């Protein structure tokens, strides 16, 4: 089983997606988009940019928990991860996005 993009309607009528690993864990969450087409373009951007190491920005929240942001070539944020318990766990999350991002199918939920 491979990963998948879950495209869905957010509470406020906007659209968003999650990239999930084969085990069902969310590994990347998108921003909110005004239209379904814009969200689908966001998925295509993840497919294009996820294999590229230089597109990942590693950060820590105010509690010191690591997370990452995936950015497009124009430096716009495409998606971000959950907060991780360690930098090693965050690096595993990045590797999972690199693996699942380029070829995972999209399903509407």
pLDDT in tens, 43-64: 999 999 999 999 999 999 999 9
* Sheet containing 66-71, strands listed edge to edge, beginning at the edge strand earlier in sequence: 56-60, 66-71, 77-80, 26-30, 15-20, 4-9, 106-108
Residue 7, judged by CB atoms within 10 A of its CB (0-12, 13-18, 19+), counts as: buried
Give the C-alpha separation, 74 to 81, whole Å.
19
Range 59-86 average pLDDT: 96
Q: Point out which residues pair with 17 in neighbouring strands.
A: 7
How would residue 1 be classed by pLDDT, with cut points 50, 70 and 90?
low
Q: Tell me: the pLDDT tens digits for 19-35?
A: 999 999 999 999 999 99
The confidence score (pLDDT) of residue 61 equals 97
pTM of the predicted model as reported, rounded to 2 decimal places: 0.94
The confidence score (pLDDT) of residue 85 equals 96
């Amino acid at each position: 089983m491979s990963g998948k993009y879950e495209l869905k309607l957010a509470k406020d009528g906007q659209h968003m997606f999650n990239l999930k690993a084969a085990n069902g864990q969310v590994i990347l969450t998108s921003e909110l988009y005004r239209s379904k087409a814009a969200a689908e373009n966001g998925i295509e951007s993840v497919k294009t940019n996820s294999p590229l190491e230089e597109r990942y920005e590693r950060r820590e929240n105010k509690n010191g928990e690591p997370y990452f942001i995936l950015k497009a070539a124009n430096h716009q944020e495409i998606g971000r991860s959950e907060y991780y318990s360690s930098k090693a766990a965050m690096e595993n999350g990045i590797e999972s996005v690199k693996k699942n991002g380029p070829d995972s199918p999209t399903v509407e939920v």
